[in-house]
Structure 1
Amino acid sequence: MIAGSRSRVERLLAAVVAWFKSVGESLGHTWRRSLQLRVVVSTLTLSLIVITILGVVLTSQITDRLLDAKVNAAVEEMSRARNTVEAQLTGVSDSSTQAVRLQDAVRALSSGGSSSATGGAGTYNVALAMVGDGQQEVTAGPMLEVPAELRRFVQQNQVSYQFATISDPDGYRGPALIIGSPSSEVPTLEVYLIFPLNNEQRSLSLMRGTMLIGGIVLLLLLAAITALVARQVVLPIRSAARIAGRFADGRLKERMLVRGEDDMARLAMSFNEMAESLSNQITQLEEFGNLQRRFTSDVSHELRTPLTTVRMAADLIHGSSDELDPALARSAELLVTELDRFEGLLNDLLEISRHDAGVAELQIESLDVRMCARAAVSTVRHLAKESGCELVVDLPEEPLVAEVDPRRVERVLRNLLANAIDHSENKPVLIRMRGDVDANAVAMVVRDQGVGLRPGEEKLVFNRFWRSDPSRMRRSGGTGLGLSISVEDANLHDGRLEAWGEPGVGASFRLTLPLVRGRKLGASPLSLEPPKRRLADLPAGSVDAAGDPVDPAPEADPAGDAPDPANPAASATPADGPDGPANVPGTVEANADAEPSARTTPAEEDSPDSPDGEPAAERRSPNPAGESAGGSDDTARADKEDINP
């Protein structure tokens, strides 16, 4: 029972806290977005502070003036009352007679025999005291209301007054002014007049209420005036922001309305002049871009005919190179090689022209994207073999079916692999693929351990013909447009192509595509950055695929080529078919689900438990000198250029 009640209270409190939090977030959002609201609230806050200070000062001044006037009137009334009492008590020495005379004096000062009298200072009560025969004190009136401190001053022959809280017989309880005076005619006589301050209190209450209402009305008027003035200022700014947004969306004819000749009108005119200038420049740039694209496309098409003729002649000469002297044969070979590069550049220019013109189309097929990766690996395998670079292929065992254009996906992977081989510094290059049905994503990562990228170059690598080090030789014979075309192909698929790099550590490119077109692309199944843990300094055979220390590997099997049943990926036999590319020197087909075995190769592998969370078998070359991959030698720096083999 108690637990249930506590649970309901906790849920109620959680709901209340959530409501206050949502209201606070809504108010904060409105506060950040509304300049008019901030101006109005700031004005009201400052006005409230000023009005409060003025109210306190005015109330204090008025209160002091009222009390000063009350005191002056009370002093004058005291002179009249003292004379009246002295006339009643002159020549009287008997105590009983003194008491009677004191009562007569009180009645004389009263109006109509009541206990209060009315004078210029207002209504007051009278209290009298004197010392009679036998040093006995005789009093008349409410002497109990007179403070002892005030009596002490009066007994010292001083006219004094004091503010105190009293209760009179009429039922009044509140502040009062009590003034006392000694008598020069009757030595022991003390005369006290008690003035209730109820009238002054009502006046002050009325004044405070009037000031409060006036302050509230003034604040409301200030809020309305400030909102109106702020609206007149904010409306042109909002109009400028709205028109600027439309202008940014491509509606270059949008302009602000100019009214009058004030500052806002000058702002509108300046904005319109700026918009007109930008519109003209954008139009000129668009026309120039169209002319440039048309020129590139026309030149590319026009060059095809002479290129075909030159190709035929070069093939004819190259076919007869055996009959030529060595110099001419070498020239024929160089001619064919350069014609191949020129033809590749021409094809890339035509492809980039189609992207620029917006006429590039996808030939969508539903297929296993592993086929695209295997085809790309098969294409660049000879480059890896020539450069002494090992390719590590890590593909899922299960098919990954996606709706893609296989030709474009294969071209993207081919460009990334060729680019990685060119900059790998003869270290292993990894291609890894994973899919996530929940995220509707398939990711392909190509990673090398070469010279890497400087900060900021991960965006520049996708620029056309960009090279960090122009002196670097392209082994793949690329044209400098491969990565530019690759990012356009990724955009056509509604996917992403991203780059990461660190000098001396390497570079990583990640292609993320949707499994099903038309559905939202979620998070990538693979990490872009490599694992932070580096194992290159450990001796060969001291780590397993998970990166954990193991015992040294056993002696190699005398048979040498016998397959290892525990690790079929490490002992795969060459085979070219739908199940995978042939394993030739420089290529390793990694099986993500195979049990790792101790290896004696100087390489490092990332396992399914690798720090970056990528279930892979990435192999990395150690640093034989025992130094980090990112050493201090600046001569090892090179560019990450785009390659289209």
Structure 2
Amino acid sequence: MRDFDWRSWLSRLARLWRTSLQLRTVAISVIMATVGVSIIGAYMLISVGSNLFDSRRDQLLASSERAAVSVQNVFSAAAEQGGSAELESAMVDAFDLVSRSNATTGGTFIAILRSPDQEGPRVPGDLASTPSTVDLIGPDLRETVAESADTERRMYWQSVSIPSESGNGDPGIVVGSSITIPSSGVYELYLVYNLSDAQQTLDFVQRTLVLGLLALIVLIGAVTYIVVRLVVGPVRLAADVSQKLAAGQLEQRIPERGEDVIATLARSFNAMADSLQHQIVRLATLSQVQQRFVSDVSHELRTPLTTIHLAGDLLYDQRENFPPETARTAELLHAQIERFEILLADLLEMSRYDAGAVELTTEPTNLVHLVGDAIESVSSLADSKGSPLRLIAPGGYFEAEVEGRRIRRILQNLLSNAIDHGEGRPIIVYVDSNASAVAIAVRDYGIGMSPQAMERVFDRFWRADPSRQRTTGGTGLGLAIALEDAALHGGRLEVWSAPGEGSCFRLTLPRTHGAALADSPLELPPDDTEPQGLDPNDTNPDGLDVAPSKDTYRELQSGKGDDD
């Protein structure tokens, strides 16, 4: 048999306690009711028991006092007649008289004992119902009763346990008083009363009270459960409906019943849902119109753009035969037509993302080789800006399931932005990996961005400095498309920047398509104090420019290194 998993059970109970308002409300109500009922019940039990005992004790003391008076009268009458025989006979008569009287009040045993340390004959002798009766009388009680003979005579009592057949003992009390027999001295009268009947009554009252209090606690719990269910039920229903609305089921509504506060909440919620549905449908329709417009315009522009492109290429090829002004115009026309084609392609790509029509085709790809290809494609542009490119790749799990065309597009966009804003300083590309993820970071040391610019850097058609001259002539959609490409792979594209310190874009991808993405293997920005480049002794088949040493890397950071 398996051991009971207490930790798992407590964890499930704690989670249920956190998530269930109904459970917490009922449990707190029952606990508070239990505490309150326990305090009240304990007070009632103590009060009932004390009052029952006090009333029974007072009754027995009064009965004992009458019995003591009767015994005193019997001995006084016998003493007037004189003689030991009369006193012995009076002892028996008094004993019988008290026995009959004691039986009517629940008495069990009787003892008439001569007080110790008295002079004169012991006539009559001691008499008790049983030999064990004397054992029930405590020495303290005997001493108190004996001392009361010289003062005002009173009834004294003591609680005792009377042996019973069950062996547990019955509760009882012993009542004692002193009597005086002329010519014989002071005697003590002890009456033993069994209180088992009173104890049975008290037990019955206690059981009844405990059962009643338990029933009251159960009733309070049931009432609390019903009330909380009436209140929590509509709230839970509202939560379920709101989740369905958030999931896109805009037709879901809360049933409206009655005219109470819950019904008012349902009507208000449904009115809000109607308004949201109307707005969402209107915005969705508008978005579809906009997407269709962009897609249609982009498709329709391709045909005239192709014609313009052919005519522009013809003019561009013949520019040497034109006058200088006309030749310059042909060159500008050719550049703007190419930029127009790039913008049109980006618009078509964004329209496919907006329509959810993009499909990903992945295959195992070595990202170091992919980064090398991207660096090679922008090397001439970097040379023209005076920005040396460096690749640092210390990891070992460089292969990942990606679509190479989209990742290469992301890298080319990030590298082009770094060259445009790098101020001619070195641009470092980091590639690192672990068993589950691959990360690529493009770090420049140019002008950087403000926190406000970082928040909008991935917005469409947004530029940090619109007045700044761009070498690459971008469309303003590159980073937005790169962000969509990264998300399509299940990855993340993040940015760090600081004014005057440059910028760093980090792309993190899962090595297996569809796997959950955890922490990135690279920091943002990467630690560039002591970079570990590729091994300078290894042959570089891709012709990549790697940092051969720390000293060379520091020179590159300061802008003094060569471009080899």
Alignment counterpart, residue 504 of structure 2, candidates 502, 507, 511: 507
Residue 394 of structure 2 contacts residue 532 of structure 2 at CA under 8 Å; is this kept in 1?
Answer: no
Q: CA deviation at 1:295?
A: 2.4
Larger Cα Rg: Structure 1 or Structure 2? 2
Q: CA deviation at 1:66?
A: 0.8
Q: What is the aligned partner in structure 2 of residue 118 from structure 1?
A: 103
Q: CA deviation at 1:78?
A: 1.8
Residue 443 of structure 2 contacts residue 502 of structure 2 at CA under 8 Å; is this kept in 1?
Answer: no
Alignment counterpart, residue 88 of structure 1, candidates 58, 74, 87: 74
Any unmatched runs of 5+ in structure 2?
A: none
Residue 22 of structure 2 corresponds to residue 36 of structure 1: yes
Q: Take 1:421 and 1:207, find their aligned partners in 2: how far apart are those partners?
A: 94
| Residue type at the aligned position of 1:601 | T
Q: Take 1:74 and 1:159, find their aligned partners in 2: how far apart are those partners?
A: 13
Residue 19 of structure 2 corresponds to residue 21 of structure 1: no
**Identity, % of aligned positions:** 33
Residues 8-50 of structure 1: per-residue CA shift (max 9 Å, x gap): xxxx9xx647x11111122222223333322322232222223
Q: CA deviation at 1:378?
A: 1.9
Instruction: Give the match's secondary structure for 1:462.
Output: coil
TM-score by length of 2: 0.81
Q: CA deviation at 1:244?
A: 1.8
Residue 162 of structure 2 corresponds to residue 167 of structure 1: yes
Alignment counterpart, residue 552 of structure 2, candidates 597, 601, 625: 601
| Residue type at the aligned position of 2:73 | A
| Residue type at the aligned position of 2:415 | L
Residue 163 of structure 1 contacts residue 175 of structure 1 at CA under 8 Å; is this kept in 2?
Answer: no
Residue 396 of structure 2 contacts residue 433 of structure 2 at CA under 8 Å; is this kept in 1?
Answer: no
Alignment counterpart, residue 57 of structure 2, candidates 51, 65, 71: 71
Q: What is the aligned partner in structure 1 of residue 251 from structure 2?
A: 253
Residues 127-156 of structure 1: per-residue CA shift (max 9 Å, x gap): 334448517886543344233444454423
Any unmatched runs of 5+ in structure 1?
A: 1-11, 536-542, 547-564, 573-578, 591-596, 605-619, 625-645
Residue 58 of structure 2 corresponds to residue 62 of structure 1: no
Q: CA deviation at 1:511?
A: 3.4
Q: 1:148 to 1:598 in 2, by over 3 A?
A: same
Q: CA deviation at 1:86?
A: 0.2
Residues 356-405 of structure 1: per-residue CA shift (max 9 Å, x gap): 11223345556554443233212222333233333222458999665543
Residues 395-450 of structure 1: per-residue CA shift (max 9 Å, x gap): 589996655433222101112222333444554333344566x64x5443334455
Q: CA deviation at 1:119?
A: 2.9
Q: What is the aligned partner in structure 2 of residue 635 from structure 1?
A: none
Q: What is the aligned partner in structure 1 of residue 282 from structure 2?
A: 284
Q: CA deviation at 1:351?
A: 1.2
Alignment counterpart, residue 145 of structure 1, candidates 128, 136, 144: 136
Q: 1:275 to 1:136 in 2, by over 3 A?
A: farther
Q: CA deviation at 1:275?
A: 1.1
Which is helix-richer, 1 or 2?
A: 2
Q: CA deviation at 1:77?
A: 0.1
Q: Take 1:98 and 1:479, find their aligned partners in 2: how far apart are those partners?
A: 136
Q: What is the aligned partner in structure 2 of residue 526 from structure 1?
A: 521
Residue 98 of structure 2 corresponds to residue 109 of structure 1: yes
Q: What is the aligned partner in structure 2 of residue 195 from structure 1?
A: 193
Residue 503 of structure 2 corresponds to residue 567 of structure 1: no
Residues 455-483 of structure 1: per-residue CA shift (max 9 Å, x gap): 79776543323455656554443222112
What does residue range 184-333 of structure 1 map to in structure 2 within 5 Å? 188-304=186-302, 307=305
Q: CA deviation at 1:485?
A: 0.8
Q: Take 2:68 and 2:470, find their aligned partners in 1: how far apart are those partners?
A: 121
Q: What is the aligned partner in structure 1 of residue 483 from structure 2?
A: 487
Residue 487 of structure 1 contacts residue 496 of structure 1 at CA under 8 Å; is this kept in 2?
Answer: no
Q: What is the aligned partner in structure 2 of residue 359 from structure 1?
A: 357
Alignment counterpart, residue 546 of structure 2, candidates 589, 603, 627: 589
Alignment counterpart, residue 557 of structure 2, candidates 611, 617, 621: 621
Q: Take 2:169 and 2:322, find their aligned partners in 1: how far apart are those partners?
A: 133
Instruction: Give the match's secondary structure for 2:252.
Output: coil
Q: Take 1:61 and 1:400, find their aligned partners in 2: how far apart are those partners?
A: 83
| Residue type at the aligned position of 2:475 | T
Q: CA deviation at 1:110?
A: 1.0
Residue 490 of structure 1 contacts residue 513 of structure 1 at CA under 8 Å; is this kept in 2?
Answer: no
Residue 453 of structure 1 contacts residue 507 of structure 1 at CA under 8 Å; is this kept in 2?
Answer: no
Q: CA deviation at 1:164?
A: 2.0
Residue 395 of structure 2 contacts residue 432 of structure 2 at CA under 8 Å; is this kept in 1?
Answer: no
Q: Take 1:348 and 1:262, find their aligned partners in 2: how far apart are those partners?
A: 56
Alignment counterpart, residue 176 of structure 1, candidates 144, 166, 172: 172
Q: 1:598 to 1:282 in 2, by over 3 A?
A: closer
Aligned pair count? 541
Q: Take 1:176 and 1:450, find their aligned partners in 2: how far apart are those partners?
A: 102
Q: Take 2:75 and 2:38, find their aligned partners in 1: how far apart are those partners?
A: 54
Q: Take 1:200 and 1:64, find their aligned partners in 2: how far apart are those partners?
A: 11
Q: Take 1:204 and 1:398, find their aligned partners in 2: how far apart are those partners?
A: 84
Q: 1:144 to 1:457 in 2, by over 3 A?
A: farther
| Residue type at the aligned position of 1:58 | M
Q: 1:354 to 1:128 in 2, by over 3 A?
A: same
